[in-house]
Chains A and B, each alone.
Chain A
Amino acid sequence: MKLLFEKSVQGRGCDIFPDDCGFEQIDLGTFKRKQAPHLPEISESELSRHYSELAKRTYGVNNGFYPLGSCTMKYNPKVNEAMANLETFTQIHPLQPIESIQGCLEILSKASKYLCEITGMDAMTFQPAAGAHGEFTGLLLIKAYHDSRNDHLRNKIIIPDAAHGTNPATANMLGYQVITIPSNQNGGVDIEKLKAAVGDDTAGLMLTNPNTIGLFDENILEITEIIHQVGGLNYYDGANLNAIMGIVKPGDMGFDIIHLNLHKTFSTPHGGGGAGSGPCGCKEFLTSFLPKPIVINNDECFTLENPLQSVGKVKAFYGNFLVVVKALTYILTLGKEGVKEVSQNAVLNANYMMKQLADTYDIPYGNQTCMHEFVISLAKEKHDLGISAMDIAKSLLDHGIHPPTMYFPLIIHEALMIEPTETETKETLDEVIAIFKLVYQKIKSSPDKLHASPILTPIRRVDEVKAARQLHLRYNDWDKS
């Protein structure tokens, strides 16, 4: 398909602004731009069709089943969008007088209150723009806490080997040394190895529970206690919160800090890779370190205040505000009953799929009850028959299904991580179970077809090596257009 630039014709364009508004023309002198940027010259009708064509080549939650593990691709309710599009939110300047932004502050205050209740935290900042940004903020709190106690020798963060890649990457951003703890035979944290790894140089632990295999670590209280015993703090990666709302609270499991992904658990859409929102919550003893400002709920009005020992700002203003509006709309819609039902059914749907695929696919740890997601392994098929997780994933594309997360977690070889979410019908689940089984049969009956898949998509498998070696990151052939 042609790029916008290849459709560009000199002299075309959209008439949005008048040529002259009758003001005196200011001469910029030496500050004047010398070479105008090449931007498309395209009519409004062509522009409209261009993006319709791009939309056709994009697969959203509304297009079909999307079991992308750890990403919680649930349905995104339309009322959430409608509320975030209210002019009384979109037309508010972030630096308006405090009396004129009471509605925005109430949104942040309410969202904070409800999310704290769901997670067992005492305070929350909405400044982080995404999950990884929330992790960064969380570790800043850990660093600031130890620094405030003149405890400067804590330079290690403990992370299980099943963790999301963002955990070690975040620890590194703060200059921490990462200590990796292997998983035990049940897929949980190896307690003995954890005990051996901690000490007075432990700054904290980063943990996802349920972990990335989809298993709830039953030793959780012992794990968090081991960290507390040596003076470290426990950080909860909230990527998998969809499994536990109304069932358990991270705050009750010994966690001091959490981040959430509102674009996962709270159904604000992913937007093709953001904007998300990664609020970071903490226990009372850490609130004075939160990014500035925070919303204070006084009796008559809401105000913005800077916490005394604030770590500063992680972005301008107050975070991805409109995303918080969507999340709050969602929480208010579900209410106390609905929030729990989300997790119950997310877990039910995952187990329903897992149990029915267990006679076909190898599911390491499949003898346990999983939470909201589970992982299958194609290691044996890869070894014996040369069919990889990639082949299965790409074959699913031809059946109109978005593939599961591939090759993650790293501790399971040839992994496919499946998270159906609670917003799928039984019929859909039955249908995709049948498709997964059908694809599996092809491993023996027609392996060549699996290797060649997909064939029905707008393009087929991409030469990624070429993309990385012969970098072509922008259009440059202006002379040809």
Chain B
Amino acid sequence: MGSYIPTTKKEQLEMLKTIGYASFDELFSHIPQDVILKETLDLPSGLSEIEVQQTIKEIANKNKVYQHIFRGAGSYNHYIPSIVKSIASKEEFLTAYTPYQAEISQGILQSIFEFQTMISELTGMDVANASVYDGASAAAEAIGMCREKRRNKAYIASTIHPDVLDTIKTYAYANGIEIIIIDEVNGKVDIETLKSSVDKETACFYLQQPNFYGILEDASQISTIIHECGAKFIIGCHPISLGSIQSPRESGADIAVGEGQPLGIPISFGGPYLGFMATTNQMVRKLPGRIVGESVDIDGKRAFVLTLQAREQHIRREKASSNICSNQAYQALIASIYMATLGARGLEKVANQCLNKAHYLQKKLEELGFRLVYDAPFFNEFVTESTIRHKELFNRLEDLSILGGLPLDEHRILWCVTEQNSKASIDLLLQAITEVSK
């Protein structure tokens, strides 16, 4: 019933007649009879706007929105400043296509150039691209960048997010790069194993910092090992953490990638999120995806334009470095507004709040019998172990609208704290756990 076709049935008939067709059937008469549909599609009848929004809301209400979230594991509940949503809702940004026509796309092109600059700054790298699908596909694409004729082995830390590992493996199944997992010791990459494994055939090593358990890995030491064998070092980073912890460049990375969701993008059941990729000047031509460069127009005015397109599929076809076209431009815009709103000081504040509050929760949990599994510095996530039955614990938290940490098995839980968790909300969680432990 709803329709966004402006022409009336009468106008449609007139238009058909104007170009020599008596009806829509005649317009489609060149379609072979043996494939043309004889019946109407088996879909519900259309709805008016008021009906459709009722229908969707009814479905949405079957979800539970938790008032307090202590779960991260790749999706982080950070505060989104009002101005971010306000600016991002501008229809021009929302409804434009990829900025192929530079003359009327300077707004989007400039915003991407600013995004590239801010991601480069955040990671400490030289250049960034306009974004890829998410942190996991960014990791997979980064590994592809490191492949060389005689270097076809990619080493991966076992301590990375399982979805990222799964994605890396899928891309490797496609392109034939060999994946070798380096096991962990006490929640961190086993550096001795790494040292004895890498060799002249190693293309790269992929590390997540902080890792899946929230732990800060000894990235600088790893960097030395990787570079000694001539391979590339990729760090998958948490962008908020970069407000206060060592940047990938400071840790010796050749490529920095990450999940940009924490930069102003709601958790949204896992998407759309934002993959970012940054690298050194030496590797810029291997970067996949869109890249915006600054140039001038014929009058000498500053102008931004998609550049290095000779790497891309529409020019290179089967020789392209990747097939990516649509990326996450709109989410990159959101992240830009977020970073510009916070500035370096704001970002450091958020990072420190995450860090400090997480450590507060960890200490209090320790007092309640939740032992810290790995004795290592962590950022805003950590793993505890206890004998408390998860079923009872999570039932109690459910009543209080608290999404507890992610259960890793029957005894271990991966907790996450962000600036959104007030002292009151942390204390509410602790109170609930105290009750269950009794």
Contact = CB atoms under 8 A, between A and B. Distances in A.
B197 interface: no
Contacts of A76: 94-95
A317 B75 contact: yes
B308 interface: yes
Interface string B48-70: 11001101110111111110010
Given A275-B272, A332-B55, A402-B104, A165 B317 contact: yes
A365 interface: no
Interface string B300-320: 011111011110111111111
A340 interface: yes
A104 interface: yes
Given A60-B92, A315-B136, A247 B46 contact: no
A193 B325 CA distance: 30
B110 A44 contact: no
A397 interface: yes
A424 interface: yes
Contact of A169 (B31, B36, B133, B316): B316
Nearest to B315: A165
A440 interface: no
Contact of B27 (A86, A348, A423, A459): A348
A295 to B, nearest CB: 12
User: Which bracket fits the contact residues of A?
Assistant: 35 or more
Contact of A458 (B98, B106, B134): B106
B384 interface: no
A257 to B, nearest CB: 15
Given A342-B5, A352-B18, A14 B342 contact: yes
B63 to A, nearest CB: 4
Contacts of B86: 48
A40 B53 CA distance: 40
Contacts of B302: 1, 459
Nearest to B341: A14
A280 interface: no
Nearest to B278: A474
A162 to B, nearest CB: 12
A314 B137 contact: yes
Given A76-B94, A423-B4, A129 B133 contact: yes
Contacts of A89: 60, 63, 268-269
Interface in A414-470: 422-426, 454, 457-464, 466-468, 470
A123 interface: no
B406 interface: yes
A459 B347 CA distance: 34
Given A5-B114, A92-B267, A165-B317, A312 B27 contact: no
A130 B44 CA distance: 27
A59 B107 CA distance: 9
Interface stretch (A62-70, A197-205, A379-387): A62-70
A333 B377 contact: no
B289 to A, nearest CB: 10
30 contacts: A4-B340, A13-B342, A19-B349, A58-B96, A58-B104, A59-B92, A89-B60, A91-B66, A92-B63, A97-B398, A102-B62, A143-B173, A165-B315, A171-B318, A172-B323, A173-B174, A272-B97, A273-B108, A273-B327, A276-B326, A312-B173, A319-B271, A321-B269, A333-B2, A333-B3, A344-B28, A356-B19, A461-B103, A463-B295, A473-B294
Given A405-B100, A468-B293, 13 more contacts: A16-B342, A37-B124, A57-B110, A86-B57, A91-B65, A94-B74, A100-B63, A169-B322, A172-B320, A314-B170, A322-B269, A345-B7, A459-B297
